[in-house]
Structure formats: C-alpha cells, structure tokens
Structure 1
Amino acid sequence: MKKESKESKVNMQLLGDRVLVRPEEAMKKTASGILIPDAAKQEKATRGVVLAVGPGRMNDDGKVLPMALKVGQKVYFNPGWESEIEVDDEKLHLIHESDVKAIIK
C-alpha cells in the first residue's frame, strides 16, 4: 500500500484562487542560544508549505485563470486572523493566491 505524506493528501477541494498553507514553526531560539518569546515572533510575512490549491480565479469572460502555485512549494504569505482554520488538530491557513508574496526556491 502506498503511504501518502501530509503534503500530498488533503481531504478538501478548494474553490477559486484559494490556497491551503501549513505555516512553518518559527525559530524558538537563536543560533547563539537566546530564547525568543512568542510576542517577538510575530512577522508580517510568514513562511509555509502549500498543501492544496484551487483551480484558479475566473475572469470577466468566464475563463479560469490557472494558478501559479503548486502543491509542495515553500512560500512567504501574509496570514490574516480570518484565514486560520483547523484540520485534523492542525492549524492551517486558507488564503487567496494574491496573499502569497513569494515562492522560495
């Protein structure tokens, strides 16, 4: 039987230009051993991994514009408090493709 990773198996179908992202854990300690409190870890852009993408946004002519993102890509994104959802006891972010600021290569 084929074993599936969490990145490749998400039990939901996204609509439009939605992207499901798992945020990476922020560093809890610097390289020199200094502990960073949670309040100091708040960043404007968050790093994460794309778990699922929708089919794309529909333009005014009714044509679906394909997504630039692919499952498994690492990205910087702007999370909002309203974007956080919980799936299988894991906090994820359901955002629009435009909330992704960069693909990490």
Structure 2
Amino acid sequence: MPLLILKSKCTMNPRPLGDHIIVKSISAEETSQAGIIIPDTVSKERSERGEVIAVGPGKMMENGQRNVMEVKIGDKVIFKKYAPDEVKVGDEEYLVIRMEDVMAILED
C-alpha cells in the first residue's frame, strides 16, 4: 500500500471528500498468556481501530443527494484491516478509509 507524503512548512488540516474519513490509528496493546504486554509496534498487523479526525460530506448519489455519514469527529471506530490508505501530512500520519469500510463505532 503506497504512503502519500504531503510536506509543508505550514500547518494543514486534511479535509476528506465524498465518503472518505480520516482517522488517527489507535494502538491496541496485547497481553500474552504469560502476562507480557506486547505493544502494537511488535505486531505485523495494522490496527483496526482509529479515532475519527475528519469526515467527508458523504457520497453523491444519482439523485443528486448525499449519503449520510454515520460517524462524526471524535468517534472511535473499528474498520477493515486492509482498507485504509496511509497519508502523512507534516509530521502527522493518518489513515484514510471509506464509510463502507467502517464496521462499528466504539461506545463508552
């Protein structure tokens, strides 16, 4: 999966288009059977969880209206493991996913 790098000296806020969602990956530490904590950096699998940073306006339908986006900024979501594209804006790394790849919203 390619990594898109956008370099700029100024602070930029990514604004997704259509049904795209920008998320910040949430690392999930695991504990082995022996009680050893295995940090996410050891795992070869990408996190399936993230916090929503920005939400597009929704996919344009044939009738000219937009699909409703079911997530909002600040939501913690579970998404398909291999769905996201990695994007780096300045020093920050984000994942870009589509609404259809979101499987659940984590609620407190």
TM range (shorter): 0.7 to 0.9
Partner of 1:42: 45
Question: How far did residue 34 of structure 1 move?
Answer: 1.0
In the alignment, which residue of structure 1 is the partner of 2:68?
Answer: 66
CA offsets per residue over residues 37-91 of structure 1, 9 Å max, x none?
Answer: 723x526x61110000000011111111221110000110124376111123222
Q: Equivalent of 1:102, from 97, 101, 104?
A: 104
Within the candidate set 22, 25, 28, 1:26 is matched to 28
Q: Which runs of 5+ in 1 are unaligned?
A: 1-9
Percent identity over paired residues? 40
Residue number in structure 1 paired with 2:13 = 11
TM-score of the superposed pair, with normalisation by structure 1: 0.74
Does structure 2 conserve the Cα–Cα contact (< 8 Å) formed by 1:79 and 1:93? no
- Select the structure that is richer in helix: 1
Could you say what the CA RMSD is over the residues aligned between the two structures, in angstroms?
Answer: 2.5
Q: Paired residue for 1:55, among 47, 53, 57? A: 57
Q: Matched residues in 2 for 1:50 and 1:82: separation?
A: 13
Which residue identity lines up with residue 42 of structure 1 in the other structure? Answer: E
Measure the CA separation in 2 of the matches of 1:86 and 1:30: 29
Letter in 1 for 2:19: D
Pairwise CA distance, 1:94 = 0.7
TM (normalized to structure 2)?
0.72
